[in-house]
């Protein structure tokens, strides 16, 4: 089995990729730029915090990732400013070298998730207030709502404390979610990370994570929430994931 934590070869130049891959990158850049607008719209971020990324699958080659640039205002984000990296967080060179920005400071975490969870197509990180409050306590959000059973298949778990700068956060995300139905994890003292089959699904999970974290917190002010029975959680989850919505 290949070592997924050792970079493979040189970073390709964007211009040297096959035309169909460049087209996929362009589409991913447009989607990721647009999805970033959902984070402030739902009150999940402040200032330049938070990020969305998407995997770009490359048939017969190494997958790529598109992610928000570091420290750029949400009002300024545009498709051409999204950074394209390999799955070790190394930025691809652009035809216009002046356009290459530094990727998000969470790039290593996103990249680690993509390398170790091949079914994940999108990753989101926010600092949404109620989810971060649970993370600050190091406490999972208990499954006390049918909405939680539907979306998360149980509680929203807590991941270990990890400091940004290397793949420690990514390792904690993967270790927590690998055998869990939840697409969200609350990294202790940090905040929520969500995953999905694509970037849009990961953004939806981030929105839902904050909503249920807020609701269960409010419920606790009135008394101890009543948990959804385990067998009902499974039935609700399987129905929502397999039947709900349009085919």
- Active-site residue among 63, 74, 150, 198? 150
Domains of the chain, residue spans: 14-239
Calculate the alpha carbon distances from 233 to 85, 151, 207, 238, 243 in Å.
38, 10, 20, 9, 15
What integer pLDDT is reported at residue 233 of this predicted model? 98
CATH class of 14-239: alpha beta
User: What pTM value is reported for the model?
Assistant: 0.97
What integer pLDDT is reported at residue 246 of this predicted model? 80
What integer pLDDT is reported at residue 32 of this predicted model? 98
Where the chain has pLDDT below 50, the residues are: 1
What integer pLDDT is reported at residue 1 of this predicted model? 42
* % of the chain with per-residue pLDDT over 70: 98
- Active-site residue among 75, 96, 231, 244? 244
pLDDT digits (tens, 9 = 90+) for 101-155: 999 999 999 999 999 999 999 999 999 999 999 999 999 999 999 999 999 999 9
What integer pLDDT is reported at residue 244 of this predicted model? 87
Is 114 a known active-site residue? no
What integer pLDDT is reported at residue 98 of this predicted model? 63
Burial 162-173 (b: 16+ CB within 10 A, else e): beeeebbbbbbb
Is 179 a known active-site residue? no
What integer pLDDT is reported at residue 103 of this predicted model? 97
What integer pLDDT is reported at residue 245 of this predicted model? 84
């Amino acid at each position: 089995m290949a070592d997924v934590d050792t970079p493979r070869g040189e970073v390709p130049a964007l211009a040297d990729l096959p035309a169909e891959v460049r087209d996929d990158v362009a589409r991913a850049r447009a989607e990721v730029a647009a999805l970033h607008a959902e984070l402030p719209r739902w009150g999940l971020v402040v200032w330049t915090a938070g990020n969305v990324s998407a995997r770009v699958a490359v048939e017969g080659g190494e997958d790529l990732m598109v992610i928000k640039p570091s420290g750029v205002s949400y009002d300024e984000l545009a498709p051409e400013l999204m950074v394209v990296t390999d799955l070790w967080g190394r930025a691809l060179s652009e035809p216009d070298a002046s356009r290459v920005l530094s990727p998000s400071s969470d790039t290593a975490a996103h990249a680690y998730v993509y390398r170790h969870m091949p079914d994940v197509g999108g990753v989101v990180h926010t600092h949404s207030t109620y989810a971060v409050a649970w993370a600050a306590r190091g406490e999972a959000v208990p499954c006390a709502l049918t909405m939680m059973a539907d979306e998360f298949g149980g509680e929203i778990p807590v991941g270990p404390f990890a400091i940004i700068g290397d793949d420690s956060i990514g390792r904690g995300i993967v270790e927590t979610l690998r055998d869990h139905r939840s697409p969200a994890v609350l990294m202790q003292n940090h905040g929520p990370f969500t995953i999905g089959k694509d970037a849009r699904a990961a953004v939806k999970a981030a929105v839902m994570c904050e909503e249920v974290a807020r609701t269960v917190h409010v419920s606790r002010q009135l008394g101890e929430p009543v948990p959804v029975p385990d067998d009902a959680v499974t039935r609700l989850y399987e129905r929502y994931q397999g039947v709900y919505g349009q085919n």
